[in-house]
Amino acid sequence: MAMPRWFAPLTVVVAAMFAYAPISIANAPIESTMLLVQKIFYFHVPSWFVMFSGAFLCAGASVRYLTKGSREADHYAITGAELAVVFGLIGLITGPLWGRKAWGVWWQWDVKLTLALVVWLSFVAYLLLRRFGGPGSEKLAAAVGIFGAVNIPFVYYSVNWWRTIHPKTSVVPTLGPGMRGTFWFCTLAFMLLMVLIAALRVRLERHRALVNDLYLELED
Amino acid sequence: MRFLRTILLVLRKDLVVELRSGEILYTTAFFAVSCVLVFAFGFVREGRDLQDVAPGILWIAIAFSGTLALGRTFERERQSETLRALIVAPVDRPALYLAKLIGVTTLMAAVELLIVPLAALLFDAPLFRHALMTAALLAAGTVGFSAVGTLFAAMLVRARSRDVLLPILLYPLTVPVIIAGVRGTAALLQQPEPDLAIARMWLSLMVSFDVVFITLALWTFEPLMTD
């Protein structure tokens, strides 16, 4: 079970991108109303992109696991859920830091914050279930992954009708040219980092399953 | 036909067991009443409740007592492995799910018959001004909550730490139902005139939630309950 051939070159590319990211962010023009604080945006928004990608990876892999019973799909599902939780945590930490300076409050019950928090909680629940549910909890966890992803539009609409103040999604296309480049550069760096971590984590999970099988065989 | 018969048989079995012992109904109902009281002590100041507090307390009591009812219902099936017996019976699995869903919903409805008038009385909330709309909101919300809850509680029967895992899994996933229930009920209680259009909007959100999640549960119940 060697790493795929693209792994080493991609690691170099991602490392270089993350090394250049601070320079690119420093050179990006300063936003007129929020000034320097707005720069956290270049890491904050890409973290959310990775979290939602992780959530959908988990849900897609869970569907495959439930229908086909493929264990490989289950490895992808747990990888997706862990990525969602880790990058969601980055988003949940950088968000309030930004919000405190931009809005004057740490937290707002706005649609994007609440949606992110609820989705994040769903995948924390997914991991708790896998950790403490005992044997056979992978299947149950797969249902949680699917339900968590299907729930996203419902949470979105219910919180949206409830209240909203977050910058609109349309903020990204209206960014100044200097800011837009940096933003997409950071997003690409985060997405590639996600691919790297996912490859590592899936490999680890494969090994874990293999060791487990060998253990069982030894006992029989 | 066979499908309907299975649902009726399982439902009848559950109701007969419950009617003879009354265990889940009495304990859950008392728990829901205590819940309403605890929240009342938290939110009522100088004899007057905060504005808009009744719908929130009502729905929290429904969610909490519903969790308890779900846990107890399947704990009963765990003793002597009766759930396994149901699963290996040569009947459609989705019929088992639907029977359990109807059973849990009936139990929760019985509890609501007690706590809705209680909330109306304690918080002076005009819940019966549009009784039909209140009933529709409660029905849609309860079905949505128990649709997700029944599937998870059934699957957790074999899991470790199921008591704590059920609410952990259930609450994040039923956030839309809780928001819709609370806001829809609040729109109905609005003074001086209820906002029926808003209540209808929340009702439609809950109905679509019910349809999507019951379909999803029926589809996943079969692969999930097979070893």
Rounded distance, CA A58 to CA B129, Å?
46
Distance from CA of A162 to the nearest CA of B (A): 8
Q: A101 or B170: which carries more pLDDT confidence?
A: B170
ipTM of the complex: 0.84
**Is residue A146 a contact partner of residue B220, using CB atoms and an 8 Å limit?**
yes
Mean pLDDT for chain A overall: 84
A151 contacts in chain B (CB < 8 Å)? 172-173, 175-176
Q: Give the span between the Cα atoms of B187 and B215, in whole angstroms.
A: 29
Q: With bands split at pLDDT 50, 70 and 90, how would you rate the model's confidence at A165? A: very low
Partners of A74 on chain B (C-beta within 8 Å) are none
Among B168, B176, B179, the residue with its CB nearest the CB of A125 is B168
Neighboring chain A residues of B220 at a CB cutoff of 8 Å: 66, 143, 146
Chain B, residues 132-191, CB within 8 A of chain A, namely 148, 151-152, 155-156, 158-161, 165, 168-169, 171-173, 175-176, 179-180, 183
Cβ contact (<8 Å) for B176 and A157? yes
- Given A132, A148, A162, which is nearest B165 (Cβ)? A132
The answer to whether A201 touches A82, Cβ cutoff 8 Å, is yes
Which of B50-54, B112-116, B160-164, B178-182 shows the lowest mean pLDDT across its residues? B50-54
Token pair 């009617």 is found at B19
Tokens 């320079």 label which residue?
A: A23
Nearest to B179 among A67, A137, A162 (CB): A162
Is residue B124 classed as helix, strand or coil in its secondary structure? coil
Residue of B nearest to A67 (CA): B223
Structure confidence at residue A34 (pLDDT): 66
pLDDT digits (tens, 9 = 90+) for B126-145: 888 888 999 999 999 999 99
Q: Average pLDDT, stretch B94-108?
A: 93
- Copy the structure tokens of residue A103: 């809005």
The whole-chain average pLDDT of chain B stands at 89
**pLDDT class for B93, splitting at 50, 70, 90?**
confident
Output the pLDDT for position B67.
94
Per-residue pLDDT, A161:
79
Question: d(Cα A6, Cα A3) in Å, to the nearest integer?
Answer: 8
* CB-based contact B224 A139, cutoff 8 Å: yes
The residue with tokens 């009947």 is B91
pLDDT tens digits along B1-60: 788 998 999 899 989 989 898 889 999 999 999 999 888 888 877 666 667 788 999 999
CB contact under 8 A, B175 and A118: yes
Please report the pLDDT score of residue A113 as a whole number.
Answer: 84
Choice between A70 and B142, residue whose per-residue pLDDT is larger: B142
Q: How far is B19 from chain A (nearest CA, A)?
A: 31
Mean pLDDT of A30-59: 83
Of B105, B115, B130, B117, give the one whose Cα is nearest residue B184.
Answer: B130
**Cβ-based contacts of A125 with chain B (< 8 Å):** 165, 168-169, 172
Burial of B139 (0-12, 13-18, 19+ CB in 10 A): middle
Question: Quick one: DSSP state of residue A37?
Answer: G
Using the beta-carbon criterion (under 8 Å), do A158 and B179 form an inter-chain contact? yes
Q: Which residue of A has its CA nearest to B182?
A: A162
Instruction: Give DSSP secondary structure letters for A46-113.
Output: HHHHHHHHHHHHHHHHHHHHHHH--HHHHHHHHHHHHHHHHHHHHHHHHHHHHHHHHTSSS----HHH
Cα–Cα dist A62/A58, whole Å = 6
Taking 60 as the threshold, does the pLDDT of residue A168 lie above it? no
Give the residue-averaged pLDDT of A88-109: 84
Per-residue pLDDT of A174-215, as tens digits, reads 666 677 788 888 888 889 898 889 888 988 989 988 998 899
Residue B206 has pLDDT above 50, yes or no: yes
- Which position has the higher pLDDT, B79 or B14? B14
Q: Is the pLDDT of residue A149 over 80?
A: yes
pLDDT at res. B146: 95
Q: What are phi and psi of A35, to 5 degrees?
A: 55, -135
Taking contacts as CB-CB distances below 8 angstroms, the residues of chain A near B175 are: 118, 151, 155, 158
Nearest-angstrom CA–CA distance, B227 and B216: 19
Quote the minimal CA–CA distance from A169 to chain B in Å. 21
Give me the pLDDT at residue B227, please: 62
Which range, of A97-106, B42-51, B171-180, averages the lowest pLDDT? B42-51
Tokens of A127: 């991991």
For residue A42, name the pLDDT band (cuts at 50, 70, 90).
confident
A27: β partners = none
Least confident of A12-21, A54-63, A95-104, B46-55: B46-55
Among B207, B78, B172, residue whose Cα is nearest residue A88: B172
For residues A71-95, average pLDDT:
92
In this predicted structure, what is the pLDDT of residue A120? 93
**Chain A residues lying within 8 Å of B171, measured CB to CB:** 121
* Residues of chain B with C-beta less than 8 angstroms from the C-beta of A137: 159
Position A31 pLDDT exceeds 80: no
Looking at per-residue pLDDT, the higher value among B214 and B190 belongs to B214
Q: Are A191 and A53 in contact (CB under 8 A)?
A: yes
Q: Which two tokens stand for residue A216?
A: 């069982």
Q: Could you give the angle at the alpha carbon of A50 between the alpha carbons of A47 and A52, nearest 5°?
A: 110
